[in-house]
């Protein structure tokens, strides 16, 4: 089988592991920078070209599209889809998961647990927005922020009002969410492949840090999930249309709530802290999907 990993850096841990796992399973695996591809958008002969050469022999792609490259990266994924190449995460699913507001609305529509969330642009009714999520403390997010950037914990009403006013001055879209105190600065990263959670870890924020991102100094341990948490993670990934996803949950008094669904979750932390060969499980899922696809085509 011929696989292509769409990644800007072949030395990244996740990219390297996926390549190693694919080759260990006997596949031919190439890493291609999607930003250096260009496309021939023709009705009957669509092509993706890399360094001037058409890519004509790919059976599957594994998109590792960074947030900063979503628009062009998903255009490349879409072109491969038009060419009939299999991808576990479609261009539409990646785009959907990257839009914080849209993804929350889709999750809410499916009845999946979420923190109480308000959304505003230039509202004058700041008091009403704060009250909507139960008052301070609360979390304020810039809609365009990633990896914990543009996320503020406002511990008092006055602090919340000041931050919202400052964000309004930036002409920004603002998400306001209840602060789940009982989570105590931790979250659960569930790694979903297909319709199963294959690994999960509890991430704990560094002292004085409410964000649990590992690259911000957080730590992690293997997590044991409840059946409800497992079901919530799988349903959240499915709502986005993602077959490979990192779903971040908080443990609240009213059950698990979804914070984010990530279409290009990193492998390093989850493999290290859970001792799970996530890369091989992704490759195996792609193999099975392609085998099922061929069987359907034969009928």
Distance CA 261, CA 273 (A): 20
Assign 125 a pLDDT band (cuts: 50, 70, 90).
confident
- Residue whose structure tokens are 């255009």: 75
Distance, in Å, from the CA atom of 19 to the CA atom of 192, rounded to the nearest integer, reads: 19
The domain locations on the chain are 2-96, 117-179, 182-281
Question: The dihedral of CA 187, 267, 277, 232: what is its sign?
Answer: positive
Token pair for residue 251?
Answer: 């443990």
Burial 220-259 (b: 16+ CB within 10 A, else e): beebebeeebbebbbbbbbbbbbbbbbbbbbbbeeebbbb
pLDDT at 141: 86
> Which of the four CATH numbers 3.20.20.150, 3.30.420.10, 3.30.465.10, 3.40.50.20 does domain 2-96 have?
3.40.50.20
Q: What are phi and psi of 21, to 5 degrees?
A: -65, -40
Task: Report the pLDDT value the prediction gives residue 262, as an integer from 0 to 100.
Answer: 95
Residue 165 backbone class (left: φ over 0; alpha: ψ -120 to 50; beta: rest) = alpha
Q: What is the pLDDT of residue 298?
A: 57
Fold of 182-281: D-amino Acid Aminotransferase; Chain A, domain 1 (3.30.470)
Which tokens sit at 35? Answer: 């930003």
- What superfamily does domain 117-179 belong to in CATH? ATP-grasp fold, A domain (3.30.1490.20)
Q: Is 35 exposed, middle or buried, given 0-12, 13-18 or 19+ CB atoms closer than 10 A?
A: middle
Query: In this predicted structure, what is the pLDDT of residue 210?
Result: 55
Rounded to the nearest angstrom, the gap between the alpha carbon of residue 255 and the centroid of all alpha carbons in its chain is 21
What average pLDDT is seen over the chain?
Answer: 90
At 41 the pLDDT is 92
List the alpha helices (DSSP H) in 189-277. Answer: 227-240, 268-274
Give the CA angle between residues 156, 159, 162 to the nearest 5°: 150
- Report pLDDT digits (tens) over 126-184: 899 999 999 989 999 887 655 556 788 899 999 999 988 888 777 778 889 999 988 88
pLDDT band at 231 (very low <50, low <70, confident <90, very high): very high
Instruction: For residue 112, report the phi and psi dihedrals to the nearest 5 degrees.
Output: -85, 135
Is there a contact between 245 and 262 (Cβ–Cβ < 8 Å)?
yes
Listed residue (290, 132, 147) closest to 213, CA to CA: 147
Indicate the pairing of strand 53-54 with strand 117-120.
Answer: unpaired
- pLDDT category, 206, cuts 50, 70, 90? low
The pLDDT assigned to 291 comes to 87
Contact (CB, 8 A) for 212 and 265: no
Question: What's the token pair of residue 61?
Answer: 């792609």
Residues 6+ apart with CB under 8 A from 188: 200, 201, 202, 203, 223, 225, 229, 248, 249, 250, 251, 256
Task: Give how far the C-alpha of residue 166 lies from the chain's centroid of Cα atoms, to the nearest Å.
Answer: 28
Q: Are strands 60-63 and 151-154 parallel, antiparallel or unpaired?
A: unpaired
pLDDT at 211: 55
- Closest CA relative to residue 175, chosen from 133, 214, 207: 133
């Amino acid at each position: 089988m011929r696989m292509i990993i769409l990644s800007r850096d072949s030395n990244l841990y996740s990219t390297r592991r996926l390549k190693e796992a694919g080759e260990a399973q006997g596949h031919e695996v190439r890493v291609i920078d999607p930003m250096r591809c260009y496309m021939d958008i023709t009705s009957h002969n669509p092509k993706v070209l890399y360094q001037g050469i058409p890519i004509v022999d790919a059976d599957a792609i594994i998109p590792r599209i960074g947030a900063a490259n979503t628009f062009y990266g998903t255009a490349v994924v879409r072109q491969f889809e038009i060419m009939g190449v299999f991808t576990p995460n479609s261009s539409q699913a990646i785009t959907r998961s990257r839009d914080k507001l849209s993804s929350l609305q889709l999750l809410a529509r499916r009845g999946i647990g979420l923190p109480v969330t308000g959304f505003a642009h230039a509202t004058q009714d700041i008091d009403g927005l704060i009250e909507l999520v139960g008052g301070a403390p609360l979390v304020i997010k810039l809609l365009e922020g990633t990896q914990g950037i543009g996320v503020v914990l406002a511990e008092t009403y006055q602090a919340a009002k000041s931050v919202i006013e400052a964000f309004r001055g930036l002409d920004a879209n603002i998400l306001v969410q209840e602060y789940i105190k009982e989570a105590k600065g931790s979250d659960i990263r569930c790694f979903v492949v297909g319709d199963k959670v294959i690994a999960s870890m509890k991430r704990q924020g560094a002292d004085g840090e409410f964000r649990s991102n590992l690259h911000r100094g957080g730590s992690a341990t293997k997590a044991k999930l409840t059946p409800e948490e497992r079901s919530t993670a799988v349903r959240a990934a499915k709502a986005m249309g993602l077959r490979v996803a990192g779903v971040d949950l908080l443990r609240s008094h009213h059950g698990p709530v979804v914070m984010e669904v990530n279409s290009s979750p990193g492998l390093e932390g989850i493999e290290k802290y859970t001792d799970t060969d996530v890369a091989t499980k992704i490759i195996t899922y792609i193999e099975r999907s392609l085998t099922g696809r061929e069987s359907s085509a034969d009928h």
